[in-house]
Chains A and B, each alone.
Chain A
Amino acid sequence: MKRQVEEEINQLKAKILHMGSLAEEMIHFSMKCFIERESNFGEKVFKNEEEVNRFQIEVDELSSRILALYQPEATDLRTIIAAMKINSELERVADQAVNITQTCTLHLFKETPVKTMMEIPRMATIAQEMIKDSLDAFSRSDVELAQAVLKKDEEEDTLKAKVLSEIIGMIRKHPSQTKQLVDLILISRNLEKIGDHATNIAEDVIYMTIGKDIRHPQQQDPPVVSPSL
């Protein structure tokens, strides 16, 4: 017999995954908007954002309901905790995609186009993959995949550093383009943040699956008194 709490947890997971796919789409459309200088894609981003926000409330409500009605323990409890945290991460991913779109539609499109560095779309691809993989890891309780996401974040950070140094060089060469180039820095920053959110999701998945908190490895566990046998 299936436990009622399990059914509700599955519903919660389904909502998170749906929300994640909306956020992934938002990254995709915000990049289309940026690369193709086409504000129609921006509309799609804003439309998805409304839905993501609606899901955020629903996930919180369902999580509270499960906690109140079933007082879950062990894996069930860790899954709810992870779901609530991933919920916030995804809402922030959506916000980053909105910021990229706004930077495009409110600033970049009004200025003379500048040469687009290939690192920025590459960063977007990696960020999108990280979100997808972290959610797949969530769906399958896959620690290995979650760890691969953590590894990928290093690549994202390296690209971000490269973009920054290139842009600083370009600003020196073409000071008249400073405004547009600063916008590019902002966009790369938004993409890097998406990578950070995916990293947080992957860490939540590891906690959910094996009960290990890997967020701050330098912090020692507090001493635990345990009865000897």
Chain B
Amino acid sequence: METAAIMETPKTDKIAVEVKDLNAYFGSLRAVKDFSLNMLEKKVTALIGPSGCGKSTFIRCLNRMHEVTPKAWSEGQVLIHGEDVMKKDPVLLRRNVGMVFQKPQPFPSMSIFDNVAAGLRLNGLRNKSVLAEEVEKSLRDSALWDEVKDHLNKPGTSLSGGQQQRLCIARALAIRPSVLLLDEPCSALDPISTAKIEELILELKSNYTIIIVTHNMQQAARVSDFTAFLLLGEMIEYGVTSKMFTNPGNKKTEDYITGRFG
């Protein structure tokens, strides 16, 4: 794998996610091949590559969603803030590693408020005023508060696609994760909603480590600090985004980002 010039990581940049020799399988099919990389705390890391290259499979290994699929399994090690994810209770792990999916999926029978409060209630929070404070904070953090504050009791599904996606981000943020996984969060959204999510990502990175899967090259270039290019389950190149998009180190990366294949 080629990387941008590797320099000593300054002490202020802590490693949030450490992946060592990770392989992920669906039965006998190896979808992720020997990934080893570090992702830095409070930075945005983008994963790019053609469909089927293993991007989503890889991030699903980080919060153990991968193993939920029948016959899916993985080997190797993933450490989040130094803790081996395989040794953690998956429910506790997913509290710390939030995830937002391609298609906004608010809980259909719940109001806007309840969608955000759901995770908190599951964690035992019952105090109404604390709950209201936490919901407001999460909705503010996901830049949705001003648009929904006057109708928190309306169903989550009554919102526009872009608002629903921000609602899902608010829901993920409510339980205060340290890592946020975004799996093509804008692919079903219009350009204005996409721009709002991108702005949100840039704001959120001051508090969260964000890993985003995207098919949109410009989006990866705009929002991420580091980019990994994946192809057929292999990590071809991983490095600083600005370099990757102006002067990639690998011919395959060059060919992909300039649209010669994929």
Q: Which residues of A contact B (CB under 8 A)?
A: 3, 5, 71-78, 210-212, 223-229
Contacts and interface: CB of A to CB of B under 8 A. Distances in A.
Contact of A224 (B7, B36, B246): B7
Contacts of A72: 258
Q: A interface, by DSSP: helix, strand, loop or mixed?
A: loop
B109 interface: no
Contact of A229 (B7, B37, B240, B253): B37
B226 to A, nearest CB: 6
Contacts of A3: 258-260
A227 B243 CA distance: 13
28 contacts: A3-B258, A5-B259, A71-B217, A72-B258, A73-B221, A73-B258, A74-B245, A74-B246, A74-B248, A74-B254, A74-B257, A76-B258, A77-B246, A211-B246, A211-B247, A224-B5, A225-B240, A227-B9, A227-B15, A227-B37, A227-B38, A227-B238, A227-B239, A229-B1, A229-B3, A229-B36, A229-B38, A229-B238
A4 to B, nearest CB: 9
A226 B243 CA distance: 11
Given A74-B248, A211-B247, A226-B5, 6 more contacts: A3-B259, A74-B253, A226-B226, A227-B38, A227-B226, A227-B239
**Contact-size category for B:** 35 or more
Interface string B71-99: 00000000000000000000000000000
Interface in B99-141: none
Nearest to B220: A73
B247 A227 contact: no
B212 to A, nearest CB: 15
A5 B254 CA distance: 14
Interface string B196-213: 000000000000000000
A75 B254 contact: yes
